[in-house]
Amino acid sequence: MIKKFVGATVALAALGAGALAATAVALGNKRVDAWETLTLDDAGDGAFVTLSDGARMHYVSMGRSAAALPDASSAAGLPPANDVILIHGLMDSAQSWSQNMDALAARHRVWAIDLIGFGYSSRVTAPTYSLKYYARAVREFMDAQGIARASIAGHSLGGAVTLELARAFPERVSHLILIAPATYLANLVAPVKLAARVPYVPRALMGFALTSERARLRAWRDALGDPRRMNAQEALRRVRPARVKGTADALVAMMGSAWSNGLGEELSRISAPTLILWGDRDRAVPLRHGDRHARALPNAEFVILEGAGHVPHIEYPDVVNRLMVEFLSRRMPLTIL
C-alpha cells in the first residue's frame, strides 16, 4: 500500500514538474515572439552588403577613402592599408565603436560591421557559425567595398575573428588591434552543443535571458572595470539590436555550431604587427589569456589598461583611441603617457 502511495506521489510530482517545465518553455518562447519586433530595416543608418550565402551584412562607415591618404605600404609595392575595419564582440554590434570611430576617421576610412547574427545583420538560423565563417564574411565585405588590404580591430569574439582572418588571408591585413580577444574561449563544449538540439527549450531560455532587464544590466555592469561607471541608459540603448527578429534562433544556432579550429595553436603563423589591449579587471576573458597571445604572436605589443574591464574601448575611449591611433601611424616604439 505504502509503495503504491509513494509511486503515485512520485508520478504526480513528475507530471507536475513536466507541466511546469512545459509552461515555462511556452512562456519563454512567447516572450521571444513579443520581444523581437524589429527588422534589419530598423537600423536607421549605415548600409548593407549581401554575402555569397545571401546573408545581409550591415555596416557604418566614416572618414576619407584610402586613395586620398598617403600610405607607406604603397611605396613598398603593397596595396594601400588606410582602411580600418572594426569588429565587435559577442552580443554587441557596430555601435559599440561609436566612441572610437571619430578618432580613427581623422586619418583613416573606418568601417564598423555587424557580424552575421548580431546588430542589424541577417540572422542565420542554421548551425553554420564559426570563426572561419566570420572570417570569410569579412573578406567578402572587403571585396564588396574594394578594400584590398586593411587594418583590423576586434574586440572579444571580434578579436578571435580578426586573428582567424589574419591566419586565413594574411595578404588582406596590415595591422591588427586586439581588445581582449576570446581566442581561447571560442570552443563550445559538447554538452552546450547537445543542449542546442533540444526542441524549444534553448529558445525559451534565450527568451528569458534577452527580455530580462535585470540580467542585461548585470551583464553590462560586470563588463566594466569599475561598476560605478555604469550607465543604465547606455546599457538599454545597446540592447536594441537584440530585438531584431530571429535573434534567439540565431543564438541557438551559434550554440550548436562547430567553433573549434585550432586557432590558438597557430598564432605563431600570424606575422602582422599587432597591438593587444587588455583591462586588468576583465572578468569575461582572463588577463592571463593576454600573456598567451603576447607570447604566441611574433610581432605583438601587449598593453595592460589599469582599472579597465572587458570593454576598455567603451569605458576609457580616450586612452584606447590614443593607443590605436599611435599604433597605426607611428614609426617609434609605443609609449604610455
According to DSSP, the β-strands at 150-155 and 274-279 are unpaired
pLDDT for the residue numbered 228? 84
Share of residues in the chain with pLDDT > 90 (%): 65
pLDDT for 198 beyond 80: no
Least confident interval from 73-87, 119-133, 242-256? 73-87
Q: Which CATH architecture has domain 40-193+211-329?
A: 3-Layer(aba) Sandwich (3.40)
pLDDT for the residue numbered 332? 37
pLDDT for the residue numbered 217? 83
Q: Where are the domains of the chain?
A: 40-193+211-329
pLDDT for 190 beyond 90: no
- More confident: 215 or 47: 47
> What's the mean pLDDT in 126-155?
97
pLDDT for 211 beyond 90: no
pLDDT for the residue numbered 71? 45
pLDDT for 3 beyond 70: no
> What's the mean pLDDT in 79-108?
90
